[in-house]
Amino acid sequence: MTVREIKAGVHAVGTQDWDRRLFDELIPLPEGTSYNSFLVSGSEKTALIDGVDPTKEDELIANLRELGVENLDFLVSNHAEQDHSGAIPKILGLYPNCIVVTNAKCVAALKDLHDIADDRFMEIADGETLSLGDKTLQFILAPWVHWPETMFTYVQEDKILFTCDFLGAHLAASNLFVTDAAPARIAAKRYYAEIMMPFRNQVKKHLEKLAGLKIEIVAPSHGPLHDNPTAILDAYADWAGDDVKNEAVIAYVSMHGSTRRMVDYLIDALIKKGVTVKPFNLTQTDLGELAMGLVDAATLIIACPTVLAGPHPAAAYAAILVNALKPKTRFTAIVGSYGWGGRTVEQLTAMTGNLKAEPLDPVLVKGRPQGNDFDRLDQLAAKIAAKHGVEVSSPD
């Protein structure tokens, strides 16, 4: 990544990962990602804000050399996860006077993950400041976005807020700042859904904490920077807020077409009732898209056949993932076909125990759906529309 000046004495020195397509061996990265790192040069001291993924540490070091950095006083670690801390040991070896500045929980996490001597740390508390001369770093503890040790760093004179993962996006881009708001918002929403959604209540608290801060630039550690901070802060307030939309997500898998026929019928029935439907075929969908669909949806329907007396494993995987993501879904339903019996409803219900959602009557059919089965799907659609407060009724 090219070194670029953000403001006088503040440079972006991180790296792009154009080719990466999977994070945590779980999260799809259709547009790659970046590991942002920032050099803040005061009149007396210099600080690096966050490192990069260990696979990119040589690029970070090359960027520091390009800027002629011969002495680094501080490395501020906002988050201990390896994609931001992996380069720290090499940086500390390269700059023997450099001290890692972070909070107590992050010190402990960094020691767990890396071999860093005790005397290379400076522990700071919430609200504490560190002078670099004509620039002052202020540390704002922001736990659980998305690890317990996360924090933000604010440059008081430049009004730049470094947020690490918070407000970020997995997006490799040649532009330093957001230039096209719509795709940037989608990438940020995907990131929120995959990483931040389980910590929605903490997100709300951190947004409140930031409300009194004058912010000109939001600089996360993934994706483009925001010189219109209101856009991303308002988007987060919307996503983390308690309101849900008149949307039903259907996560489905079908083996021989019976569940698929039920899903197709239910989609039409919901549309007729005025409910927006977002179907995801679990054998094909990008799970990030499913996660994004769950950010706003009032209802989640899992549709699957019964296999060996339980839910199809693709549906079980999705249920476990949804349970971990804890969307603000208000209503859930289970739909599907079975051959001779099983405990699909009980098992899927147990797998989604984290959801604070009202379960609606399941619709399970033996074999292919027929006759009264479609009436039951109509009743489910009507119930969902009523729960969503939709007043539009179908012509029939």
Residues making contact with ligand FEO (CB under 6 A): 79, 81, 83-84, 146, 165, 221-222
Nearer to ligand FEO among residue 148 and residue 367 (C-beta)? 148
Nearer to ligand FEO among residue 59 and residue 83 (C-beta)? 83
Please return the burial class of 25, using the count of CB atoms within 10 Å of its CB with bins 0-12, 13-18 and 19+. Answer: exposed
Please return the burial class of 391, using the count of CB atoms within 10 Å of its CB with bins 0-12, 13-18 and 19+. Answer: exposed
Is the distance from CB of 67 to CB of 11 less than 8 angstroms?
Answer: yes
Tokens of 241: 């807020």
Q: Find the shortest distance in angstroms from Cβ 107 to ligand FEO.
A: 17
Q: Find the shortest distance in angstroms from Cβ 195 to ligand FEO.
A: 7
**Cα separation, 395 vs 170, whole angstroms:** 44
Tokens of 90: 């090499």
Nearer to ligand FEO among residue 152 and residue 331 (C-beta)? 152
Nearer to ligand FEO among residue 195 and residue 270 (C-beta)? 195
**Cα separation, 300 vs 322, whole angstroms:** 10
Q: Find the shortest distance in angstroms from Cβ 84 to ligand FEO.
A: 6
Q: Find the shortest distance in angstroms from Cβ 220 to ligand FEO.
A: 9
Q: Are strands 15-17 and 22-23 parallel, antiparallel or unpaired?
A: unpaired
Question: DSSP code of 56?
Answer: G
Q: Find the shortest distance in angstroms from Cβ 147 to ligand FEO.
A: 6
Q: Find the shortest distance in angstroms from Cβ 111 to ligand FEO.
A: 17
Amino acid (one-letter) located at 43: S
Nearer to ligand FEO among residue 79 and residue 206 (C-beta)? 79
**Cα separation, 368 vs 365, whole angstroms:** 7
Tokens of 109: 């996490």
Tokens of 163: 């947020």
Which residue's beta carbon is nearest to the bound ligand FEO?
81
Nearer to ligand FEO among residue 31 and residue 83 (C-beta)? 83
Nearer to ligand FEO among residue 23 and residue 280 (C-beta)? 23
Closest of 4, 1, 386, 2 to residue 217, by C-alpha:
4
Q: Find the shortest distance in angstroms from Cβ 52 to ligand FEO.
A: 10
Nearer to ligand FEO among residue 17 and residue 81 (C-beta)? 81
Q: Find the shortest distance in angstroms from Cβ 115 to ligand FEO.
A: 20
Residue 377's H or E segment, with its range, is: helix 372-387
Residue 48's H or E segment, with its range, is: strand 46-49
**Cα separation, 274 vs 263, whole angstroms:** 16
Q: In Å, what is the CA distance from 260 to each residue of 220, 265, 266, 317?
A: 41, 9, 10, 18
Q: Find the shortest distance in angstroms from Cβ 128 to ligand FEO.
A: 23
Nearer to ligand FEO among residue 36 and residue 347 (C-beta)? 36
